[in-house]
Amino acid sequence: MQRKAKRLSTLVLASIAFFSAAPSKAPAQTYPIDCAILLCLSGGWPTSVPCSRARAEFIRRITPWPVEPPLQIWRCPMSASYNFNDEFRQAVQIYDILYNEPNALPQSFPQQPRISTFEAQLATAHKNGIERRTLPEGLALHLAQEQADIDISGPEFNFVRSIRVFDVRYARQHESGQDGDCNRSATVVLGTYGTQGDFSWVRSSITALPVAHLGLESWGQNCPSIYHRSVFVDWRDFEGNYGFEQVNY
């Protein structure tokens, strides 16, 4: 695993070198934007046209409404091969570390979506005219597109799981006009990534917001009037460096 992580580090540096030296006219539309987000995020968003474009899309997705997962790794088919030029092919060799078998060959793009045996049985039954009924309790289908198409459970992909999206949908603090009590109400949800890059939302709170978040510093102190809505995303790159973005609305 240590050898694998070192290899990833080398490839990340190679991708940074490529993006930093990229010409002013980037090879637009020659790669999925989420693959660029994955590479640029891991390398700390190096200065380049491809990474600037990737970061702009990363931020656009958290700009309400709606709030989307900033990295949609299921849109980056990492077990695929592309017709990149030689320089870009060197940069995206980061994907090589994702194969379980050392001699495994990449599949041609587009990759056919994977379906489980249970899904296949349902499809066959439906084709044969058998009515599709409610799934057994506790069983739910999970689309392959909602997670990475290869195994990213290793520590070298912790930078993906480090991404947090705090959606402060509503935060209000004010004094009651009659009795002088301080009224506070807020709705905060937190979006996080699972082991394989799957994204989900859970309820959160104002107290869970990172220190870097701005706009609610006076929350709970006396009772200054506050009305705040924002989306805050933070992450750590492959080297562990902290980064964040905040969009107020």
pLDDT by 10s per residue, the chain, length 249: 444 444 444 444 444 444 444 444 444 445 689 999 999 999 999 999 999 999 999 999 999 889 999 999 999 988 754 444 444 443 444 444 333 334 333 333 333 333 333 344 445 444 544 344 343 444 343 344 489 988 999 999 999 999 999 999 999 999 887 777 899 999 999 999 999 999 999 999 999 999 999 999 999 888 999 999 999 999 999 999 999 999 999
- Prior bond to 66 cis, omega within 30? yes
DSSP-derived letter for residue 61 is T
Backbone dihedral region for residue 248 (phi beyond 0: left; psi -120 to 50: alpha; all else: beta) = beta
| Cβ(234)–Cβ(164) below 8 Å | yes
Residue at token pair 């290869």: 150
| Cβ(151)–Cβ(104) below 8 Å | no
Burial annotation 69-96 (CB, 10 A radius, 16+ → b, else e): bbbbbbebbbbbebeeeeebeebbebbe
- Rounded to two decimals, the pTM is 0.68
> Which among 161, 146, 165 has a CA at the least distance from the CA of 72?
146
